[in-house]
C-alpha cells in the first residue's frame, strides 16, 4: 500500500466516525475512570487523548475517578489499618483525611495533568467544591453497622459542571461528598458517576472496568441489554459479584434520565473511542427497551 | 489482525488527528471547489463528507465553487456560442443569465444537497445576496478589450458569512458579483475564493485542482514554498500556464492576512482532510517565510 | 397648495401609518410573490421598495416566489415539452433541473437584487438549504397518478429563517423541497408559503394574485371573511376555480396558528403596503370569527 | 382621484421616506423642544406623533425641553418676583424649587403623557437622576455677577440614556443639573440639549424654534450653512439676538462630534418629520464644510 | 475597649449580617417611604444610605413615596382649598396639577438626590412613564361619591422597573397613575406600593409608618402575624384606624405573591436595615401561616 | 444602651462601610492566606466569613494559600527528611507528591469547606488545572544549586479564574505550578499570589502574615508606604529577614498593574475586613507615590 493510499485509508477512518460525531454533538458523557486504565501508563495516555478528542469534536466529557489501591498504599505507608465490610472501606476521620489527600490531591491532579498534556483543559474537583455540590447521607452497613465517613449521593448541584463544560473545560471529579453538617464522606466512584450523570441528564454513563463487559452463561460477551434483561440476568445468577452493583448503578441512572449506559473493558487502548464511535463497541451497552 | 486490533488501529488514527483538530479549532478555511472533485460521484461524496467533518470538529469551512463546463453545456443546449479571450469567457447579458442559472441554481444547489446528505447544514449563496456582498468592478481584457459581464472582486462584506459560520452553517458561494450599478458579473472562482478568504482573514485558502500541486523542474511535487520562492518559480519559468494565476491569487491573499494557502490535488479522495490533518499533505503549501 | 402644505400633508400620511407600524412591530409576514407583480418592471420595483420598507419599520418579511411562466420559457428554449395534470406540471428529473435553475438561479437572484437596490439585505434560499429545511412527500395526482418530482410540504425547519430575520435579513425562498431520500421536488408556491407561515406562526400570510380578491355573487370585492364564510362560499359555488386552492391554503395556515391571511391584488402598485397599513386594504382579508 | 389612487399616492409617500429611514436607522437624534410647539395643542399632538414614529422606524429620539413661561406663571401665582440678567433668570433657592416642580413635575410629565398617547414609551428624567447624570458648574453673569442656581453643563453621563434608548424608551429630559456639591441648578435648555447630543455623539441636534430658521440679509431662509458661514454671519451682523446663542450652541456640539445640527420652525405641524425626511427640510441645517 | 477591639467588634457586625445578605441576594424589596422618615433630615439621610447599601449588597430596592403634607402646603400657598372625604383628598383637575408638581417634581427629585449623595443611582418615575406603567380606574367614595382624579391601581407593567433594577438603578416612584383615557390620577402611596410589589412578585413589601408597628390589646408590639391573625385582629377591634388599610394592603399583596410584608417604625434611624438584617426587626412582620 | 439603640449602632456600622463597598464594587482582591489565620479555628472561621462577605457585597476574592507546616508534618509521618536551602524546601519527586497531596488534597479542600459553611461557593484549584494555568520555570538556589521541583511563576492564564469569579465562585488556589515539560513544581505562596494578582490586574494584593505589618526603626507600625519608601527601608536595614521578600513581591506586583498591596496581621479576627473597610487598616498598605 502506497503512502498516499495509507493516508486515504486513514481519512476514511475519520469520515467513518462522522455519523457518531454528529449524533453526539454537544452531548454530555459521564465516564467512571478506574482500574487498569488508571494504572498502566500507555492506557493512561490513551485515555487522556480520547477524552481530549471527545471535547474537541464537540462532546462534553465529565470524568469521575476512583483510587482504592492508592488510598490503601498511603494508609500502609502511614501504618494505618483499614477494615472492609461488605467490600466497603470503614472510614474513620483519619482515614478520610488520607482519602482526601489521595483522591483530591494526588490522583485528581495526575488525571488533570495527563489531559493537559493532550491539549485538553481539565479542572480537578471534589464534591466539596461550590458549597458542596455532591451532597450525601451517611451510609450504614448491613444491620445498621457504622461504616464511618461513607456516604451515598443525595443531591447533586450540577450548575458548576454545566458552566465548566459549556466553556470547554473537562471536569475531573474525585468522589468525595459532604453531608448536611458539612462533614466529608467517601463515596463509591460508580455510584457518584451515576448520580452525576443522572443530575446532568447525560447522554451516556460509561463505566470503565477490568473485564470484557457482561458475559452470558456461556462466558460470551453480551453486546446489548435492556433494563429488563439486566434484571433477569441478576435474578437468574448469570451476573455475579462486583458486576451486580455496577449494573444496578447503571440501570438506576437510566431510570432517571440517562439515555444509555456502557460497561466497557478499560484494558483496551482507546476503549472510550471504540465504544462511542463504533456500533458494536467494546463492552456491554444498556439501552431502553423499545416500546 | 483481529477485529479489536483493527478497531484500536482506527481509534489511533482518530487520536493522531488530535493535534490538528486542536490547532485549527474555530478557524476559518476557504475552499475553492472545482475540477474532477466536482465531477466524479465518489469524489463529490468524499468532498461533502470532508467538509461536514471539518464543521463538526470545530472548523468553519466556506466553499466557493466554479462551473465552467456546466455553463458551456447549457449554452450549447441553448445554441448560444461563447468566445474566450485569454481564457476568460466573454459574457454578454444573455450568457450572464445562463451563468446565474447554472452556478446559482444548479451547481450551488447540488453541493448544498450533497453536504446535507452528509449531515451538514449548507447555505447556497451568490455575491448578490445580502445587498450584494461581493462587490466587483468590470474587468477589461488585454488592450482594454470589453469582456462583457466579467468582474474583479473589489470589496467583500463578510458579515453574513460570519453570522452563518458562527451558527454552524456552511456557506456555499457561487462566484457571481455585483457592480456599483447593481449589474451582475461573472467572477473567476479562484479569485473570488481568494478575496473572500482575505476578507475573512481566513486561516487557510485551499484551491482544489486537477494536478498534483506545484512541480519543480524535475516534475517532482514541491511540498512547501514561501512567497519569495513562488515569485522566483514564476520568474524562472519553472511554473507555467494555468498554475501562475492560481499562485498569484494565493500569494495575494496571503499578503492580505490569510495564514497559509494550499494548492492540492482534488483527484484524490479526502484530499481536503489529508491536506489539513497531515504534516506532509497532498499538494503544495504556501507559507510565510520565517523571518 | 403650497410646497410646505404639500410636505405637511405627506408627513400626515407617515403619522397615519403609525398605529399599523406599532401594531405589527417585530411581527413576521410571509408573502407569496408572483403574477403581474413579478412581471411588470414598475410593479417589481414597487414591491421591492415595499418589502424593504417593511423591514426597516420593524417587521420581518419573508418572501416565497413562484415562476411557472419562466420555467415554461426555458423548457421551450431547450425543446422540452411538459404535460399538465389538474394544473400541476408533471416534473421528470430533467424538468426538475430546469425548475431549479429557473427558480433558484434566475428568479430568486433577480428578487434578491431588486431588494438590494432598495437598500434591503435579502438572502436567496431554496428548501434544499440548511440540510433541507423544506421537507416534502411526493404528491400523487388524481387516481394515484405519478406526477414525478412534485412534493407537498411535510415539515419546515424554520431555524435558519428565524436567524436571518432576527438579524434583519429578508429571506427570498424558491419553493423547492427535499424528500426523505434527498430528492429535489417542485412545490406549489402558495402551499409552500402557507407551510412556512404556519411553521413561523406568522402574523400574516399574504398571497399576491392577479385578481381583485374574493368576489361575491354580484362580483363585488369581499373585504373580510371568516373561515366559516370561506367554507360556505366554496360550498355554494360563489368561489370558483383557482381561487379555491388559494383559500384552502390560507384557511389551513390560519387553523395552524397564522393570525390572518390576505388575498390581494398584486396588480396595484404598493399592494403590500396598502393591505398592511390601511384598514380597508386592497383585497380580501381572512380573519378568525370572533367567539 | 379614486380612493385606490389616493391610497397608492399615500403609499408612495411612505416609500419616498425609505432612503431617509435607512440612512438614519439606529441613529440618535437629540431634540430641543420648546416654544409654540409646546404650547399649541395641535402642534403638541403632532410633535408627540412624530417622536413616536421616529422611534418605531428605528431612530433613537431624545427630548430636552424648556419651560420658561410655565415657570413664570407659577412664580406669579405664588407672588414671587424674578429678575432677569442678560436674559437669564436669577434663580434663588426658592425659585429653583419652583423650577423643579414645573420642569420636572408638570411639563416633563405632560410630554411623557402625550408620547404615551401616541403609543411611545417615554421616560421623564432630570439631570438629577442616576446619581446626577448632568453635572454643571455655576454660571456667573457679566462682571462675575451672581445669578444664583444657574449652571452650565460640565459633564454628561449618558449611560442611562443609552440603556433606555437601546430598549426602545424615549428619554424626556428637564434641563436641571447638579453641581459637585449636589446642589440643583437651572440650565438653559438649548445648552443642555447640545451637551447631551455631544456626549451621545448624536447624528443630529435639532432645535425647535418659533422662527423660520436663519435668515439672510434679504430675510430669506438659508437652507444650509457650514460652521464657517455661521461664524461669518454672526460676525457680519446678519444674524442677531436670540439666534446667536442657538447657533453657537449648535456649532459647539458639531465641533465635538455631532454630525449635523438643525434650527427649525416648530410652528409647522410635523416640523420634525419634515426636517428629517426631506432633503430641503423646514429650517436651517448646519453641516460640516466638505474638505 | 482598644481601637483594634472596637474595629473587630465592628467587623463582627458586618459578618453577623452575612446570613441576611445571602438570603436576600438579588431579591426585590418594595418600600413605601413617607411620614417622619421623609421629614426629619437625619432620618432622610439614614434612609438614603440604607437604600444605597441594600443595592450594593445585592438587593433590588424600589421606593414608592407619598407627599400629602407637601401637597397641602403648595395648595395653601396657591390659595386652593381641598376637601377630604373618608381621608381621601378630593382631587379636581387643578389640584391634580399641583399633586404632579409636588410628587413628581419636588419630592421625587429630592429623594433621587439624597440617594445620589449616598452613591446610589436612583431614577425618579411616575406611573405616567413608559406609556403609563401604572394603570388605574377611578375610585369612587362611599355612596358612589365623586372624588375627582383619585385612582385605584388596576394593572402595573413592571418591565421598566425590572430593566432598571437589573442594571443597578433604584426606581423612586411617585404614586401617580393613568386611566384608560390617559387622565392622570392621584393614588394612595401604600396601595401603589402594594400593587407594584405584587406585580414584581417582590420578596418584601415594607411600609414605613410613624408608629411602632401593630400593637396588641395591651399596647405591646406584635412582632409577627399570619394573615389569619391579621384578619382576626381587625375583626376583634384590636387594630383600629389608619392601620387597618395598611394591613389590608399588605395582606392583599401577600395573597398575590409577595413573600412577606413589614409595617415598621420609620422614626428609628436605619429602620430599613434593622428590619431586613435582624431576626426580631423593628416593627410587625406579616408572614404566611405555615401549613 | 437599650436593645434598639444597640441595633441602631450596628446599622451605623453597616452604613459606615458603604463608601468602601461602593469603591471596591466588582473589584478583584487576591489574598495570600497562611500562618496563624490558617491554624487557629476561630481565625479560620472568621477568615471564611470575611471572604464570603466580600463576595456577597460585590467584590471578587481570590485565595492563594500556603501549607509548609502541614507538608512537614506528613513528610515526618512518612519518615521522609527535607533539606532547606536559603529557606526553600529542596523538593525531590517524592516530596513533590506529598506537597500535592497536602496542598491540593487536604488544605485546599479544608478552605473550600470552611467557605462553603459560610455560604460561599469556593472552587479548589492548583496551577495544574485548565491545562496548567500557572506556568513556572525551575528555580535554582544560590550558586546555581539544584533545589528540585521548585518553580518561579512565568506566565499565568487567568481566563479560568475570571470565568469563575464572574459567576460568583471563589477560587482557592494551591501554589503548584507546571513547567514547559508538564512537570509539577512547588511555588512560594506569596510569589504565586503576586503573579496571579498581576495577571488579573487586581485592585489589591493582600498578604496575611503573623506580624503587625512593617515596623519602623522604633518598632512602630508604618501604616502606609510608597514603593520608594519600601526600597529605602530595605536598603537602610529598617526592614529585615522574611519581610524583605514579601515587600519585594508586593512592589513587583504593583509595578505590573496591581493598584495597592497590603501586608496585614492575620492574627487579628476579621483582619481582611478591617483592612479593606477602614481607612487606617490593620497593617501596612503599599501605595503608588502621588506624582
pLDDT at B249 over 70: yes
Inform me whether the C-beta atom of residue B22 falls under 8 Å from chain A C-beta atoms: yes
Does the beta-carbon distance from D104 to E108 stay under 8 Å? yes
Inform me whether the C-beta atom of residue D163 falls under 8 Å from chain C C-beta atoms: no
The rounded mean pLDDT for chain F is 93
pLDDT bucket at B288, cuts 50 / 70 / 90: confident
Tell me how close the Cα of C160 comes to any Cα of chain B, in angstroms. Answer: 9
Interchain CB contacts (distance < 8 Å): A and B: 102
What is the pLDDT at residue C256?
94
Residue of E nearest to F47 (CA): E15
pLDDT mean over F43-47: 95
pLDDT at B291 over 80: no
Residue D251 C-alpha cell reads as 456649532
Percentage of the residues of chain A whose pLDDT score is greater than 90: 82
- What ranges in D81-151 are assigned the alpha helix state H? 93-99, 108-117, 129-132
Q: For F148, left (φ over 0), alpha (ψ -120 to 50), or beta?
A: left
> What 3 state SS string does A154-215 have?
EEECCHHHHHHHHCCCEEEEECEEECCCCCEEECCHHHHHHHHHHHHCCCEEEEEECCCCCE
pLDDT digits (tens, 9 = 90+) for C99-125: 999 999 999 999 999 999 999 999 999
Inform me whether the C-beta atom of residue C68 falls under 8 Å from chain D C-beta atoms: no
pLDDT at F229 over 90: yes
pLDDT digits (tens, 9 = 90+) for E86-112: 888 999 999 999 999 999 999 999 999
What is the pLDDT at residue A291?
60
Residue of A nearest to B265 (CA): A4
> Helix, strand, or coil here: D103?
helix
DSSP string for residues in chain F: --HHHHHHHHHHHHHHTHHHHHHTTT-EEEEEE-GGGGTSHHHHHHHHHHHHHHHHTT-EEEEEE--HHHHHHHHHHTT----EETTEE-B-HHHHHHHIIIIIIIIHHHHHHHHHHTT--EEEEETTHHHHSEEEEEEE-GGG-EEEEEEEEEEE--HHHHHHHHTT-EEEEE-EEE-TT--EEE--HHHHHHHHHHHHT-SEEEEEESSSS-B-TTSPBP-EEEHHHHHHHHHHTSS-TTHHHHHHHHHHHHHTT-SEEEEEETTSTTHHHHHHHSSS-SEEEEEPPP-
Chains in contact with D via at least 3 Cβ–Cβ pairs below 8 Å: C, E
Chains in contact with E via at least 3 Cβ–Cβ pairs below 8 Å: D, F
Q: Which of B21, B270, B278 lies at the smallest CB-CB distance from A15?
A: B270
Residue E127 C-alpha cell reads as 406611573
pLDDT bucket at B11, cuts 50 / 70 / 90: confident
Inform me whether the C-beta atom of residue A108 falls under 8 Å from chain B C-beta atoms: no
The total of other beta-carbon atoms located within 10 Å of residue C81's CB is: 7
Instruction: Enumerate the residues of chain D whose CB falls inside 8 A of the CB of residue C57.
Output: 21, 56-58
Which CA distances in Å does D183 have to D64, D70, D98, D156, F22?
20, 22, 15, 16, 22
pLDDT digits (tens, 9 = 90+) for F236-272: 999 988 899 999 999 999 999 999 999 999 999 999 9
Half-sphere exposure of F148 (CA within 13 A, CB side): 16
DSSP state of D144: G
Does the beta-carbon distance from A56 to B10 stay under 8 Å? no
Q: Which residue has the higher pLDDT, A288 or B264?
A: B264
Residue E28: strand pairing partners: E60
Interchain CB contacts (distance < 8 Å): B and C: 121
Q: Are strands B122-126 and B170-174 parallel, antiparallel or unpaired?
A: parallel
pLDDT digits (tens, 9 = 90+) for E211-231: 999 999 999 999 999 999 999
Inform me whether the C-beta atom of residue F291 falls under 8 Å from chain E C-beta atoms: no
Inform me whether the C-beta atom of residue D245 falls under 8 Å from chain C C-beta atoms: no
Going through C182-223 in order, the beta strands assigned E by DSSP cover 184-186, 204-209
Instruction: Enumerate the residues of chain A whose CB falls inside 8 A of the CB of residue F163.
Output: 163, 167
- Kindly give, in sequence order, each residue whose CB lies less than 8 Å from that of residue D155, ignoring residues fewer than 6 positions away: D135
Residues belonging to chain C: 291
Rounded Cα–Cα distance for residues D90 and D96 (Å):
10
Inform me whether the C-beta atom of residue E101 falls under 8 Å from chain D C-beta atoms: yes
ipTM of this predicted structure: 0.93
Instruction: Enumerate the residues of chain F whose CB falls inside 8 A of the CB of residue A109.
Output: 100, 104, 126, 128, 176, 184
pLDDT digit string (tens) for chain D, length 291 residues: 577 788 888 888 888 889 999 999 999 999 999 999 999 999 999 999 999 999 999 999 999 999 989 999 999 999 998 889 888 899 999 999 999 999 999 999 999 999 999 999 999 999 999 999 999 999 998 888 999 999 999 999 999 999 999 999 999 999 999 999 999 999 999 999 999 999 999 999 999 999 999 999 999 999 999 999 999 999 999 998 889 999 999 999 999 999 999 999 999 999 999 999 887 788 999 998 876
Inform me whether the C-beta atom of residue D101 falls under 8 Å from chain E C-beta atoms: yes
Does the beta-carbon distance from D184 to E113 stay under 8 Å? yes
Residue of B nearest to C159 (CA): B167
What is the pLDDT at residue F1?
55
Interchain CB contacts (distance < 8 Å): C and D: 102
pLDDT bucket at C53, cuts 50 / 70 / 90: very high
Interface with F, mutate which of E11, E48, E55, E213 (most F CBs under 10 A): E11
Q: Which residue has the higher pLDDT, A87 or F31?
A: F31
Residue of A nearest to F184 (CA): A113
pLDDT at F30 over 80: yes
Does the beta-carbon distance from C103 to B105 stay under 8 Å? yes
pLDDT at F119 over 90: yes
The rounded mean pLDDT for chain B is 93
What is the pLDDT at residue C205?
97
What is the pLDDT at residue F141?
85
Interface with B, mutate which of C79, C101, C167 (most B CBs under 10 A): C101
Closest CA relative to residue B150, chosen from B207, B74, B96: B96
Instruction: Enumerate the residues of chain D whose CB falls inside 8 A of the CB of residue C278.
Output: 7
Portion 73-92 of D in contact with E at CB < 8 A: 74, 77-78
Q: Are strands D184-186 and D176-178 parallel, antiparallel or unpaired?
A: antiparallel
What is the pLDDT at residue B161?
97
The total of other beta-carbon atoms located within 10 Å of residue F8's CB is: 19
Instruction: Enumerate the residues of chain A whose CB falls inside 8 A of the CB of residue F160.
Output: 121, 123, 169
What is the pLDDT at residue F80?
92
Rounded Cα–Cα distance for residues F115 and F108 (Å):
11
Inform me whether the C-beta atom of residue B16 falls under 8 Å from chain A C-beta atoms: yes
Q: Which domains does chain A have, with CATH numbers?
A: 25-287 (3.40.1160.10)
Does the beta-carbon distance from F46 to E21 stay under 8 Å? no
Residues of chain E with pLDDT under 70: 1, 290-291
Q: Rounded to 5 degrees, what are φ and ψ at C23?
A: -65, -35
Does the beta-carbon distance from B109 to C108 stay under 8 Å? no
Please check whether residue B106 is in contact with residue C101, taking contact to mean a CB–CB distance below 8 angstroms: yes
The rounded mean pLDDT for chain C is 93
Amino acid at each position: 500500500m502506497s503512502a498516499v493510499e495509507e493516508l486515504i485509508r486513514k481519512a476514511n477512518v475519520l469520515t467513518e466516525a462522522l455519523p457518531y460525531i454528529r449524533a453526539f454533538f454537544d452531548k454530555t458523557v459521564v465516564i467512571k475512570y478506574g482500574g487498569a486504565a488508571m494504572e498502566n501508563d500507555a492506557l493512561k495516555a490513551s485515555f487522556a487523548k480520547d477524552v481530549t478528542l471527545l471535547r474537541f469534536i464537540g462532546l462534553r466529557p465529565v470524568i469521575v475517578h476512583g483510587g482504592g489501591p492508592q488510598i490503601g498504599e498511603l494508609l500502609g505507608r502511614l501504618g494505618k489499618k483499614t477494615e472492609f465490610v461488605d467490600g466497603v472501606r470503614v472510614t474513620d476521620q483519619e482515614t478520610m483525611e488520607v482519602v482526601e489527600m489521595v483522591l483530591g490531591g494526588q490522583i485528581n491532579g495526575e488525571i488533570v495533568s495527563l489531559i493537559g498534556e493532550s491539549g485538553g483543559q481539565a479542572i480537578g474537583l471534589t464534591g466539596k467544591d461550590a458549597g458542596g455540590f455532591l451532597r450525601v447521607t451517611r451510609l450504614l452497613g448491613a444491620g445498621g453497622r457504622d461504616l464511618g465517613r461513607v456516604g451515598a449521593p443525595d443531591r447533586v448541584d450540577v450548575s458548576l459542571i454545566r458552566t465548566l463544560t459549556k466553556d470547554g473545560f473537562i471536569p475531573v471529579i474525585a468522589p468525595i461528598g459532604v453531608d448536611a453538617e458539612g462533614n466529608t464522606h467517601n463515596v463509591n466512584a460508580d455510584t457518584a458517576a451515576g448520580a452525576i450523570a443522572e443530575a446532568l441528564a447525560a447522554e451516556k454513563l460509561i463505566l470503565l472496568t477490568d473485564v470484557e463487559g457482561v458475559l452470558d452463561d456461556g462466558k460470551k460477551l453480551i453486546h446489548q441489554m435492556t433494563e429488563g434483561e439486566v434484571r433477569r440476568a441478576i435474578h437468574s445468577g448469570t451476573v455475579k459479584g462486583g458486576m451486580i452493583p455496577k449494573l444496578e448503578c447503571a440501570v438506576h441512572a437510566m431510570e432517571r434520565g440517562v439515555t444509555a449506559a456502557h460497561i466497557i473493558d478499560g484494558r483496551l487502548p482507546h476503549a472510550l473511542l471504540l465504544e462511542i464511535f463504533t456500533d458494536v463497541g467494546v463492552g456491554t451497552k444498556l439501552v431502553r427497551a423499545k416500546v
